[in-house]
Amino acid sequence: MTDHDVRVLDAHEHRAAVNLVRHALHFPPVPEDDWPQVAPTYSEGRVWGAHAGDELVGTAASWASRLAVPGGRELPLAAVIRVGVRPDHTRRGVLSALMRHQLAEFRERGEVLAALHASEPVIYGRYGYGPATRARTVSVRAGRDAIHPEALSGRVSVVAPEDASDRVRAVYDRVGLVRPGMVARTDEWWTALYVRALATGANLRTAVHVGADGEDGFVTWKPLPCDNPTRGVVLQVEDLHAATPAAAAALWAFVLGIDLVKSVRAEGRPVDEPLEWLLTNPRLLSTEAVDDDLWVRLVDVPAALDARSWGEAEPVVVEVADRVLPDNAGRYRVAPDGVRRTDAPADLELDVAELGALYLGDVPPSVLASAGRIAVRDAAALARADRLFAVGGSPWCGSFF
């Protein structure tokens, strides 16, 4: 372990930070012409750097957002982005120092939760993050009649690239954070994922669904590289959100019906999306993978627990350990009417990372207990805990950052 100078970076240091992350992820530095589009994707005052002497050797940043939690509330969220350590300084405590400083900052800002998409999942449990949502990657053979016509309504219109970012943003805001796990998309998010992509010629295409009350869904996609497009290309769906099942079905029907397309691929879709049931032939779809998606960290455990809704069951006392933010440690009585600290004996004991995995309701406590991730002091409490933590449907993020 080596001491490091960890501090918030000034704006003029952000380019070095993003290039360090790109180097760690095996990408080239940001081109000179591209930096004006990248610079606004950082939030000033939220970019940390670790230094060895005068050299920047690690960085971590975040955006201020909101996360939908079970019961419909939206809590202040720190969306963690661009974490990286220079290859010659890994395993020297650089990342640990960054994570400790960053989490302390979130606590001071009053951000109840933190979340990230993990490039290396084995890393983040050490800092209290747990995999709270999953997503699947699907591939569907294309065809104009792929979707049951009874599922469709409204119409789909292609959007010009210069209008795409504003139109899509308006629809996303209209749809709202309707599932636990969905996040508010910040100005920086839109710049990073849409404005920059459109400005740099990423060949991103957009269409919106128009229902009885106006635009209520959108899909963005791009064709994957192909030597001979006349034999059919693969379309990659980048983003698809809709306010109604009919709008979602119409958007899927649209991309599956585009000429000279042999299949449509989509990553990051909900695990419970009923796409097989929309298809006239369910064998047109194959699931390539189901992966961890959003990793959640409870920064303020009592506030986070008290903010979500709970199922109907007798109370369970949960003892939480938190090595990074020790104020969170303690016993909590979880009941349908809320959560409070208690001195009563614990029924279940777990680390804050496991609590993060449970928080949105994707996995029941009994599953983590069977894997040895939860210590069970009262076996009868597991069934009660499963009912308390349960939610209707699967949580889903739907926004990469």
Return the bridge partners of 216, or none.
Answer: none
Residues 174-199: pLDDT tens digits? 999 999 999 999 999 999 999 888 87
The position carrying tokens 């999306």 is 273
**Closest C-alpha among 295, 303, 282, 301 to residue 395:** 295
Q: Is 84 annotated as a binding residue?
A: yes
Residues 310-360: pLDDT tens digits? 999 999 999 999 999 999 999 999 999 999 999 999 999 999 999 999 999
Q: Is 96 annotated as a binding residue?
A: yes
Q: For residue 52, which phi and psi values (nearest 5 degrees)?
A: -115, 105
Give the Cα separation of 224 and 151 in Å (integer). Answer: 28
- The one-letter code for the residue type at 363 is V
- Please give the share of the chain, as a percent, with pLDDT higher than 90: 94
What pLDDT is stored for residue 8 in this prediction? Answer: 98
Q: Is 91 annotated as a binding residue?
A: yes
Q: In this model, does residue 121 exceed pLDDT 70?
A: yes
Return the bridge partners of 81, or none.
Answer: 61
**Closest C-alpha among 53, 59, 52 to residue 15:** 59
Give me 73's structure tokens: 């509330």
DSSP string, 314-358: --EEEEEE-SSSGGG-EEEEEETTEEEE--SPPSEEEEHHHHHHH
Q: In this model, does residue 1 exceed pLDDT 50?
A: no
The residue from 42, 124, 127, 172 that is catalytic is 124
DSSP string, 129-183: -EE--EEEEEEEE--TT-B-GGG--SEEEEE-HHHHHHHHHHHHHHH---STT-B
Q: Is 377 annotated as a binding residue?
A: no
Residues 139-158: pLDDT tens digits? 999 999 999 999 999 999 99
Handedness of CA 124, 400, 20, 97 (dihedral sign): negative
Q: What number is the average pLDDT over the span 75-90?
A: 97
Task: Provide the pLDDT confidence category of residue 4 given band limits of 50, 70 and 90.
Answer: confident
- The one-letter code for the residue type at 277 is W
For the chain, the average pLDDT equals 96
Number of H helices, E strands in the chain: 13, 19
Give me 143's structure tokens: 């065809």
Give 187's contacts (C-beta < 8 A, 6+ positions apart): 40
What pLDDT is stored for residue 22 in this prediction? Answer: 97
Q: Specify whether 218 is catalytic.
A: no
Give the Cα separation of 103 and 92 in Å (integer). Answer: 19
In this structure, how many other beta carbons lie within 10 angstroms of the beta carbon of residue 229?
A: 11
User: Is the pLDDT higher at 328 or at 200?
Assistant: 328
What pLDDT is stored for residue 116 in this prediction? Answer: 98
Tell me whether strands 316-321 and 134-141 are parallel, antiparallel or unpaired: unpaired
Q: What number is the average pLDDT over the span 87-114?
A: 97
Give me 175's structure tokens: 């749809």
In this structure, how many other beta carbons lie within 10 angstroms of the beta carbon of residue 4?
A: 21
Q: Is 95 annotated as a binding residue?
A: yes
Domains belonging to the chain, first-starting first, are 5-111 (3.40.630.30), 136-291 (3.40.630.30), 300-389 (3.30.1050.10)
From 92-96, 201-205, 286-290, the region with the lowest mean pLDDT = 201-205
**Furthest C-alpha separation in the chain:** 70
Task: Provide the pLDDT confidence category of residue 287 given band limits of 50, 70 and 90.
Answer: very high
Residues 217-247: pLDDT tens digits? 999 999 998 888 888 999 999 999 999 999 9
Task: Provide the pLDDT confidence category of residue 2 given band limits of 50, 70 and 90.
Answer: low
Q: Is 45 annotated as a binding residue?
A: no
Give the Cα separation of 32 and 29 in Å (integer). Answer: 9
Give 137's contacts (C-beta < 8 A, 6+ positions apart): 265, 266, 267, 268, 269, 287, 288, 289, 290, 291
Q: What number is the average pLDDT over the span 356-372?
A: 98
Give me 325's structure tokens: 């933010």
Q: Specify whether 124 is catalytic.
A: yes
Q: In angstroms, how far is CA 54 from the centroid of its own chain?
A: 34
Q: Is 309 annotated as a binding residue?
A: no
C-beta of residue 108 within 8 angstroms of C-beta of residue 136:
no
Give the Cα separation of 177 and 29 in Å (integer). Answer: 34
Give me 170's structure tokens: 């308006």
**DSSP secondary-structure letter at 194?**
I
Q: Is 93 annotated as a binding residue?
A: yes
Q: Is 72 annotated as a binding residue?
A: no
The residue from 332, 359, 389, 401 that is catalytic is 401
Task: Provide the pLDDT confidence category of residue 107 given band limits of 50, 70 and 90.
Answer: very high
